Structures are given as C-alpha cells and as structure tokens.
Amino acid sequence: MKELTQRQEQILELIKSNLELKGFPPTRADIAKTFGFKSPNAAEQHLRALEKKGVISILSGASRGIVLNESHSLKNIKNNEIPIIGLVAAGQPMLALEHVEKKLNIPETMFRDNADYLLRVKGDSMIDLGIHEDDLIAVKKEKECKAGQVIVARVNDEVTVKTFSKNKEGKIILKAANSKYSDITLDPKNEDFFLEGVCLGVIKSF
Amino acid sequence: MKELTQRQEQILELIKSNLELKGFPPTRADIAKTFGFKSPNAAEQHLRALEKKGVISILSGASRGIVLNESHSLKNIKNNEIPIIGLVAAGQPMLALEHVEKKLNIPETMFRDNADYLLRVKGDSMIDLGIHEDDLIAVKKEKECKAGQVIVARVNDEVTVKTFSKNKEGKIILKAANSKYSDITLDPKNEDFFLEGVCLGVIKSF
DNA sequence: TGTAATACTGTAATTATATACAGTAAAATA
DNA sequence: TATTTTACTGTATATAATTACAGTATTACA
C-alpha cells in the first residue's frame, strides 16, 4: 500500500472522527466544508485517491457510502508491545528477559518502520543528535546498514550507539555525535563488530 | 423508556446490523426494502416511533442521520488515539481538525502522564534539550506550570515552545534551549500569554 | 524534461433521500 | 366506546448527495 499524503491522512482522520462522533461517514460536502474547499469535487477526488491506495472503499450511488478497509478500521487496534531494554551487560544477549524494564505498545506508524525494541541510552555520546542519557531509542534488528545511519552495535561485546560509515579501505567508522569523543575505526575482519540494529527514532521524557 | 413493539425491535436490529456490516445507518428506502414495505414512509414512521421512545435520534436533513442512543450504542472501543498537530497558524485553535496530520495510539504509560496531542516542532530554539525541527513533542493541556518545565504557549497568538520560569517581580521568563536566542520576558498582566500545555516528552524519527 | 500525481475551483446533471400530506385498517388503551 | 397507537399504501417534492465534465496550478517522479 502506497503512503498517504498529508492531506489524504487528514481526510482519512476526518472520516474516522466523523464515524466516531456521529456514527456515520461524512458527505463530500461535509469534507469540503471542514477543510474550506469551495467545491465538493475536491473531496470527491481525495476519496478516489484514498480508494486507489486501498484504505477505503466507496460504495457507488450510496450516500455516505464510505467504508474503512480492514487495516484502517476503528475496530482493530493492533497489539504491538515491544520491550524496553535497560542496561545490557557485556557478553549478554540483547533481548534477555532480565533487561526488560517493561513493555510499551508502540503504534506501527510511529516510526518509519516497526521497531523491535526500545533501548535506554547510557552516556552522552550522541547528544548532538538529541539523544541524551535515559532517552529511549527505537531499534529495528537489521543485518545491514547504510552510511550515516544511527546504529546499535556490539564492539568487543559492549553495546554502543553510534553513527555508521565506511572509509575507502572498507574499514568501519563509528562516529559519536559529540565532539568530546573521537571516531572508532574497525577492521570488520579482525575486530569483534556485530550490528544489533538500526535506530528508527527516539522517545524522550521530561 | 417505553417498550418497543416487535416491529420496532426489528427495525432497531436492522439499524444495528446495517451499522455493523456496512459501517453506516440505512436509509428509509433500505428499511422499506428489507421488510417489503411499499412506501418509504412506513420506515419513516417507525423511525419516528423509535425516536419518540428514546432509542434513536434522527438528525433532520442529513441522509442516514440515524444515531443510536447511548444504551443501544454498539461501540466501546477504548483507544488512546491522539492527534499529531502540524503547523498552527496564528489566531487558530490548537486542535482544529485542519491541523491534524494523523493520529497515533500512544500508550498511557509512555510518558509520565497521558498526552493530549503531539505537536510537530518548527525551528531550532530547543536543540540543547534534544528537540529538533520536525520532532514531535507530547503535550498535555494544563492551566498551570512550574519553573523549569518545557511548555507550549501562545505569545501574541503565536505558538511557541520554551522553558518556563518567573523572576522576582513575578514576570514570566521564556527561555530557549539554544544560546542563539535570548530570553523573552513577559508581564502576565499586559502581555498576551496563554499556556497551551506542558511538554511531557519528545518523539524523534530518523 | 515530460508525465503523472496532487490539490484544488466551478458548474451542472442525475440520483438518492428525507419528509410532508392524504389515506386505510387493525390493535391497544383510556 | 372513543381515542390513540401501530402499521402500513401511495404520491409528491424539496433538498441532500453523488458524480461527471472542464478547468488551473503545483509538486513529485522517472
């Protein structure tokens, strides 16, 4: 399913909230009025776009004949609980039960991809990217990553969060986002480097 | 509430099943067809009777404007969807539907308190706290706040995110978390200051 | 650089729908 | 027994709503 534009997302939200509040879908005129469109056809075309992208169905000829398709239906709120991982001691696997602080139900659409776990950050090596101590980073397990991505990796059995890149000789360079720390250069053949996952985002609490 | 006749019970059931199966209420013609009435007015009058007995409401002028009253309502889906608010133009209310990008189902335990909405950050005034452009801040509507808290406020109708404090004379001081910006001092009596809410946390996507 | 997709305005026709009015008839209720 | 309620038929009409057609302008994309 293609991604929705911001406007399409808004239209979809309006349909949902109309269903929730009033009990039935909006008309084209309702939509146009809400967003200030001067033509009901603007709404019509947004609906067609949503239908094309598979999020709604339009029942031809029926007034208010807008049906939310399965995944977007109000009824199914998916349970997507992922663990919050605290401090991981050297040599221990990431998802060992002992490290799980609690679980959080993270909506799939919160980050660009579905996260596998949340890792509580220790240290200040990534503050220039807005990642501070005790923040949670959303991590997706991956076997590969691209230059510039924020990753979670094991280096000699220690879990670390850094920005990934490679130099001309094919060596891995791990950069901290903090001028206090200098780069780590690793030879993937000799050194003990293991990619735990890619960082999708950050959750920060005040 | 008076008791329903058998026929009225049937009509009510039809409305419910129509809502469940199709997602919206039936028309008078739909009802008439289902029961074999030769006039839509038969359905109309049953609806009037149901309204009189308090089990439904009829929204005059709206097609399919049949609303089930509380006790007969179908849905009890408790989700915690909160809207993502994009750019809010000066003078406009925060939660106007037009600003809603989409909604996210945020678990109540994600932040220290339940957020009312997520606001997409514009500008770099809070980068020292790890809040960057396009991050989402989780906001709880509050009427009061404490010194040191990150708040969302209106200053002369513009929405702004700052750290809140007061000086000895009781004036409000809004601090940016960025040395580029200097403090804003406001006299709460004269200036147009309105507290939209308190920032509970940040969601950041890479 | 051309093409598709997005995001609308504007008009208008057709159909869908609500709803008023005028009846008939049986059953329930005061 | 008179009256209201229930349960319809039948007709008609205003308006609610869908939806086609003809445009314009901008942005995304290949």
Catalytic residues of B: 125, 162
Closest CA to A12 of B62, B81, B9: B81
Query: A97 and A190: one domain?
Result: yes
Judged by CB atoms closer than 8 Å, whether chains meet at B206 and A16 is answered as no
Other C-beta atoms within 10 Å of B58: how many?
15
Decide which of A79 and A75 is more confident. Answer: A79
Last-in-domain residue among B25, B52, B72: B72
Is A25 an interface residue toward B (CB < 8 Å)?
Answer: yes
pLDDT classification of B77: cutoffs 50, 70, 90: very low
In this predicted structure, the answer to whether residue A75 has a pLDDT above a threshold of 60 is no
Per the listing, tokens 């735990």 go with A196
As a dihedral over the C-alpha atoms of residue A144, residue A155, residue B128, residue A115, rounded to 10 degrees, the angle is: 40
CATH number of domain containing B31: 1.10.10.10
Nucleotide nearest to B58 (CA to C1'): C18
Residue A57 tokens read as 């169905």
Query: B97 and B196: one domain?
Result: yes
Judged by CB atoms closer than 8 Å, whether chains meet at B24 and A24 is answered as yes
Residue A4 tokens read as 């929705």
Q: CA of B8 vs C1' of D6, distance in Å?
A: 10
> Using CA atoms, how far apart are residues B41 and B29, in angstroms rounded to an integer?
9
Closest CA to B52 of B35, B74, B69: B69
| Chain A residues lying within 8 Å of B77, measured CB to CB | 74-75, 77
Query: B112 and B67: one domain?
Result: no
**Contact A68/A74 with Cβ under 8 angstroms?**
yes
List Cα–Cα distances, A115 to A28, A108, A141, A199, B171, in angstroms: 37, 8, 8, 9, 44
In this predicted structure, the answer to whether residue A32 has a pLDDT above a threshold of 80 is yes
| DSSP symbol at B137 | E
Section A6-35 average pLDDT: 86
pLDDT classification of A4: cutoffs 50, 70, 90: confident
Query: A199 and A100: one domain?
Result: yes
Query: B137 and B198: one domain?
Result: yes
Residue B95 tokens read as 């939660």
> Using CA atoms, how far apart are residues B184 and B170, in angstroms rounded to an integer?
14
Identify whether A79 is part of a domain: no
> Using CA atoms, how far apart are residues B102 and A184, in angstroms rounded to an integer?
40
| Chain A residues lying within 8 Å of B57, measured CB to CB | none
Query: B25 and B124: one domain?
Result: no
> Using CA atoms, how far apart are residues B61 and A27, in angstroms rounded to an integer?
13
CATH number of domain containing A156: 2.10.109.10
**Contact A151/A201 with Cβ under 8 angstroms?**
no
**Contact A43/A31 with Cβ under 8 angstroms?**
yes
Identify whether A146 is part of a domain: yes
Identify whether B1 is part of a domain: no
Query: A45 and A113: one domain?
Result: no
Query: A25 and A113: one domain?
Result: no
Nucleotides of chain D in contact with protein CB (under 7 A) are: 5-12, 15-22
Residue B200 tokens read as 């509970």
| Chain B residues lying within 8 Å of A67, measured CB to CB | 22-23
Query: B42 and B89: one domain?
Result: no
Identify whether A78 is part of a domain: no
Chain B stretch 59-78, residues whose beta carbon is closer than 8 A to a beta carbon of chain A: 59, 63-68, 75, 77
The DSSP element (H or E) to which B21 belongs, if any, is helix B6-22
Q: What is the CA radius of gyration of chain B?
A: 25
> Using CA atoms, how far apart are residues B98 and B138, in angstroms rounded to an integer?
19
Last-in-domain residue among A37, A71, A105: A71
In this predicted structure, the answer to whether residue A140 has a pLDDT above a threshold of 90 is yes
Is B16 an interface residue toward A (CB < 8 Å)?
Answer: no
> Using CA atoms, how far apart are residues A180 and B173, in angstroms rounded to an integer?
32
Q: CA of A73 vs C1' of C20, distance in Å?
A: 38
Q: Contacts by B162-169 with C-beta closer than 8 Å and gap 24+? A: B162/B125, B162/B126, B163/B129
Per the listing, tokens 């149901």 go with B50
In this predicted structure, the answer to whether residue A64 has a pLDDT above a threshold of 60 is yes
Per-residue pLDDT of A154-203, as tens digits, reads 888 888 899 999 988 888 999 999 998 889 898 877 778 889 999 999 99
pLDDT classification of B71: cutoffs 50, 70, 90: low
Judged by CB atoms closer than 8 Å, whether chains meet at A104 and B109 is answered as yes
Strand segments (E) across B39-191: 56-58, 66-68, 81-85, 100-105, 117-120, 136-140, 150-155, 158-166, 172-175, 184-186
Identify whether A76 is part of a domain: no
Query: B156 and B199: one domain?
Result: yes
Q: What is the identity of the amino acid at A162?
A: K
Identify whether A81 is part of a domain: no
Composition of chain B by helix, strand, coil, percent to 5: 25, 30, 50
Nucleotides of chain C in contact with protein CB (under 7 A) are: 5-12, 15-22
Identify whether A16 is part of a domain: yes
Query: B22 and B46: one domain?
Result: yes
Query: B125 and B39: one domain?
Result: no
Judged by CB atoms closer than 8 Å, whether chains meet at A24 and B27 is answered as no
Count of structural domains within chain B? 2
pLDDT classification of A36: cutoffs 50, 70, 90: confident
Last-in-domain residue among A71, A97, A114: A71
What residue numbers bound the domain in which B173 lies? 81-203
